[in-house]
Amino acid sequence: MARFLIRRTLLGLLVVAGVLALTFLIARVVPGDPAASWAGPHASPQQLAKARSALGLDKSAPAQIVDYFSGIVSGDWGTSIHTRRPVLDDLGTRLPPSIQLVVAGLILALVIGIPLGIVSAVWRGRLPDFFGRIVAVAGVSMPVFWLALLLQLLFFQRLHLLPVAGQYDPGLDDTNPLTTITNMTVVDAAITGNFAVLGSALEHLVLPAVVIAAYPAGLVARMVRGSLLETMGETHIRMVRALGFPEWQVYLRFALKPALNPVISILGLVFAYSLTNTFLVEAIFNWPGIGSYAADSVQSLDTPSIVGVALVVALLYVAANFIVDVVQASLDPRIRLR
Amino acid sequence: MTDVATAVTTRRRLLVPEALRGNYLVLGGGLVLLCLVLVAVFAPLLAPFPEDAANATHAANGLQPPSSAHWFGTDQVGRDIFSRVLYGTRVSLEISALVLIAAVAVGVPLGVAAGYFGGFIDDVIMRVTDVFLAFPALLLALALAAVLGASAENATLALAITWWPWYARLARGQAASVAGRQYIESARALGLSNFRIIGRHVLPNSLTPVLVQMSLDAGGVIITVAGLSFLGLGAQDPTPEWGLMVAHGQAFFTTHWWVATFPGVAILLAAMAFNLVGDGLREALDPKRVIFR
């Protein structure tokens, strides 16, 4: 296990270095001459040279990369053009609401996807399977931004059932002010025992979480169906059947656990994918997360912020995959030997 | 040994229709897909107002609800949404074909090289793909499109850059599993060049899963392109791109639901058709593989 951990950590660090190099490339090399855009359109050669040295562009390429790396490591991620705050501070306030949203979406996805996959596998080729697969395929094929609009129209405008904007009712700020600790409203409200805000926050969470859950729920349902069917063909299942266990126990007690393994292995990927789906969804629900931040940054061509978002999401992805790998390895000794 | 390879491919070819028989979901998906291709090809004949897919505007006729003249209603500048949705099929199919062809052209040779040669080459190529895979498609495309400027061409380029590593990985796995087989060793012993061995014996083995993956990915590309356009980073007005049309409809969605609804249905239908067909092909050709995305 120690060897696996060391190997996996080194690999993770290598990917992180590559991610930094790629964001450096996007930030510095692609937009043509950054000094020209820094100095303005009518800059004299002297002003250009000045901008060049101010941005560190007169140094050699390796020195520039070192500057960039050390800046990232020491917490200097540049200044956002549209908020005029340090990018890292912006990310600190904007990331937690998105993580809350994505985690809620993933939980919902597992709660919907796993039973859906089981139903499809148990009644393979019959009517429940037919509908189960249509729902699953619709989930992975859903344009989330469109689903968000539809749900808003249906639940807010027509049915008046659920709120559609923000994280909780702003009117509660006067009666039950929320103490900010983690920037995740549900968590903060629960810790501080602010149940008025907690209820409102959960209500506000439902629609965006359902939208975020659409893709992972479909994916999980498909995977559970496929891997459950595969597991059902294995010898230990024949053994269990021969021993006379009832069919529901064969599925739920003996087949489901090994069948969930591949689902666990993709959770890291799905987490990152869902985080990017917030780019499309948060603006619609007026959710103050990293997704609406990214959308705003794009509108104002705010390169430092965009690179910051790209970097933090990529790092989260690497971290999530690392955790998933370690969890899997601790559950399944065979993986450690690869 | 070529005989064996031919036998395997013919057997597979025979298997496809047989496995698809009775699978109504896959057949349904295939039928929708066929319709989409036909619509894309014959859009000028099918669309009642072809000029509305381009620069035409009829401000007096704006935001009309669906009627017998305008089946899907009209948008904010009075263009017929039905015609634009039909033309949108062209845009979406074209972009996803370009993205996937580019991704395969870059990813498959790299992956095959990594899997066939192994060792140092393998390590280098696979670490590079790891880095690219750390950026979810929409994210890297967003960053690139923002930096390069917003246009359908740049969105296509950005998506191709984000999609090739998946094919590199896939092709590597296939090539690596073949590289150790005896018939490859004997081909080497016969003195065939690496180039020839790869071209004749390794590459053909990777093609089936690559094709299945392409049909599955086409749906993903369509959704991602629509997403980029929705954010304003893809196709620009007056291009009849579905995601862009949903974005236009967003502003007055609560009062004029049809503007955003019909293009959205088109995205969903197209993506579902590709996913169903891809699923069916995968199950028919190789039931054990589980693919993400």
- Under an 8 A CB cutoff, do B139 and A309 touch? yes
pLDDT of residue B291: 40
Q: Given a cut of 90, is residue A52 above it in pLDDT?
A: no
User: Which of A140, A230, A314 has its CB closest to that of B135?
Assistant: A314
Radius of gyration of chain A (CA): 24
- Under an 8 A CB cutoff, do A140 and B275 touch? yes
Q: Is residue A31 very low, low, confident or very high in pLDDT (cuts 50, 70, 90)?
A: low
Residues B209-267 pLDDT 10s: 888 889 889 999 999 999 999 988 888 888 899 999 999 988 888 788 888 999 999 99
- Under an 8 A CB cutoff, do A15 and B267 touch? no
Q: Given a cut of 60, is residue A32 above it in pLDDT?
A: no
Phi, psi at A158, each rounded to 5°:
-90, -45
Q: CB within 8 A of A171, min separation 6: which ones?
A: none
pLDDT of residue A37: 56
- Under an 8 A CB cutoff, do A137 and B279 touch? yes
B108 vs A: CB within 8 A: no
Q: Could you give the CA distance from residue A280 to residue A149 in angstroms, rounded to a whole number? A: 11
Model pTM above 0.90: no
Radius of gyration of chain B (CA): 22
HEC profile for B213-272? HHHHHHHHHHHHHHHHHHCCCCCCCCCCCHHHHHHHHHCCCCCCCHHHHHHHHHHHHHHH
Residues A193-244 pLDDT 10s: 888 888 888 888 999 999 999 999 999 999 999 888 888 888 888 888 889 8
Neighbour-count burial of A60, counting CB atoms closer than 10 A to its CB (0-12 exposed, 13-18 middle, 19+ buried)? exposed
Neighbour-count burial of B229, counting CB atoms closer than 10 A to its CB (0-12 exposed, 13-18 middle, 19+ buried)? buried
Q: CB within 8 A of A126, min separation 6: which ones?
A: none
State the angle between helix axes of B203-230 and A144-151 in degrees (0 to 180), rounded to the nearest 10.
40
Measure A88 CA to nearest chain B CA, in Å: 17
B261 vs A: CB within 8 A: yes
User: Which of A226, A303, A314 has its CB closest to that of B134?
Assistant: A314
- Under an 8 A CB cutoff, do B219 and A309 touch? no
pLDDT of residue A156: 77
- From chain A, the residues in CB contact with B136 under 8 A are 272-273, 275-276, 313, 317
- Under an 8 A CB cutoff, do B146 and A142 touch? no
Q: Which residue of B has its CA nearest to A27?
A: B147
Q: What percent of chain A is helix, strand and coil (3-state, nearest 5)? A: 75, 0, 20
Average pLDDT over residues B129-136: 83
Q: Which of the two residues, B50 and A138, has the higher pLDDT score?
A: A138
B135 vs A: CB within 8 A: yes
Q: Could you give the CA distance from residue B212 to residue B62 in angstroms, rounded to a whole number? A: 43
- From chain A, the residues in CB contact with B148 under 8 A are 30
- Under an 8 A CB cutoff, do B136 and A313 touch? yes
ipTM of the complex: 0.84
Report the range of poorest mean pLDDT among A34-38, A106-110, B176-180: A34-38
Residues A97-108 pLDDT 10s: 999 999 999 999
Candidates B20, B25, B126, B130, partner chain A, best to mutate (most A CBs within 10 A): B130
B27 vs A: CB within 8 A: no
User: Which of A140, A145, A303 has its CB closest to that of B147?
Assistant: A303
| Closest among A145, A149, A165 to A278, alpha carbons compared | A145
Q: Is the peptide bond before B238 cis (omega within 30 degrees of 0)?
A: yes
What tokens were used for A42? 């009518």
- From chain A, the residues in CB contact with B250 under 8 A are 149, 284
